Amino acid sequence: MGRDLRLVYQQIKYQNKIFWRTPVAAFFTLIFPLMFLVLFAALFGNDEIEALGVTTAQFYAPALAVFGAASATYTNLCTATSIARDEGILKRVRGTPLPPWIYIAGRVGSAIWMATLAVTLMMSVGIAFYGVEIVGRTFVAAVVSFLVGAAVFAALGLFVASLIPNGDTAPAVTNATLLPIAFVSDVFIPVEDPPVWLETLGNIFPLKHFVAAFGDAFHPALTGSGWSWSGVEFSELTGTGEYAIGLHIAVMAVWGVAAAFLATRYFKWEPQADRRAGRRRRKTQAQTSDS
């Protein structure tokens, strides 16, 4: 077991190295969400948004941090894993004694590490340049929410990777799912009094719960330290509300467990396009020589 843990650690380092040498991935995960923060603060000004009870940056920094974490785990993990499969790297790994779970743990561990960096970077910039406050009382719940969310989105990334045929489709599929959902999940726009169907839509998917569980931890006016089932949304009238992560964690966990189960079941190690082409080739040959 000690040896296996060392291997997990080594695989995480190995994947990290590859990540840093793929500048596009590093840019989209770490820098891209920061650009939104700078942009939003410049566009809207960093004054208090009355309906929310916090400044622009205090709202956006955690929301965009979650967005960065989701792209590090969901988008990146799905894309990188599908490309590695196309290139035959997964198949080669499968032919070595490295247990499959360790390889996957290496990829997931690396993705969560990058998500950690994305979140840390975002919050640090927020604190240093935009007066974002950290609430000590909710800190542990925020960390737990982050870890659960990152793990859930990693599972979703692997689930999508197990469905799609090749790496070329991965960015399209992940972005076409993540971006629209981000718009109904309070990432880019805090929607006030949305139509019911839009709110329901947001409530179904895990991203809004990730944003709420992590983001509300940075709302100084909310009471509680997060450890209860459901809270109370901030109200302009009372000037307060209650922070709770229970329900959010539960919804995310349902998605995560389902995704992990299906990914384990349908995950493929062989290049898919290749295999179909091979079969087609063999079939044509069989047909021509039969005739």
Partner 1 sequence: MAAITVRGLAKHYGELRAVDGIDLTVEEGEVFALLGPNGAGKTTSVEIMEGHRIRTRGQVDVLGFDPATGGRPYRERIGIVLQQTALERELKVEEAIHTYAAIYPRSRDVDEVIGIVGLEEKRTVRIKTLSGGQQRRLELALGIIGDPDLIFLDEPTTGFDPSARRQAWGLIDNLRSLGKTILLTTHYMDEAQHLADRVAVIARGRIVEEGTPHSIGGRHEGEATVRFSLGNTDPEELPEMARAGLDPTTEVITILTHTPTALLRTLTAWAIDRGIELDHLRVERPSLEDVYLRLTKDSEDG
A 10 A CB-CB count for 76 gives 28
Nearer Cβ to partner 1 (21/47): 21
Beta carbons of 57 and 37 less than 8 angstroms apart: yes
Nearer Cβ to partner 1 (10/120): 10
**What are the backbone angles phi and psi of residue 148, rounded to the nearest 5°?**
-65, -45
Cα–Cα distances in angstroms (integers) from residue 269 to residues 80, 93, 291, in the given order: 13, 9, 35
Beta carbons of 106 and 89 less than 8 angstroms apart: no
Say whether residue 271 binds partner 1 (CB under 8 A).
yes
Cα(75)–Cα(68) distance, integer angstroms = 10
Say whether residue 276 binds partner 1 (CB under 8 A).
no
Cα(114)–Cα(16) distance, integer angstroms = 8
Name which of residues 67 to 126 contact partner 1 (CB under 8 A): 84, 87-89, 91-92, 94-99
Binding mask 173-192 for partner 1 (x = CB under 8 A): --------------------
Q: 133: which residues sit within 8 A by CB, 6+ positions away?
A: 58, 127, 218, 220
Nearer Cβ to partner 1 (102/251): 102
HSE at residue 283, side-chain half, CA atoms within 13 A, is 6
Nearer Cβ to partner 1 (198/281): 281
Say whether residue 285 binds partner 1 (CB under 8 A).
yes
**Nearest distance, CB of residue 279 and partner 1, angstroms:** 6
Nearer Cβ to partner 1 (94/261): 94
* Positions that interact with partner 1 (CB under 8 A): 6-7, 10, 14, 17-18, 21-22, 84, 87-89, 91-92, 94-99, 270-271, 274, 279, 281-283, 285-286, 289
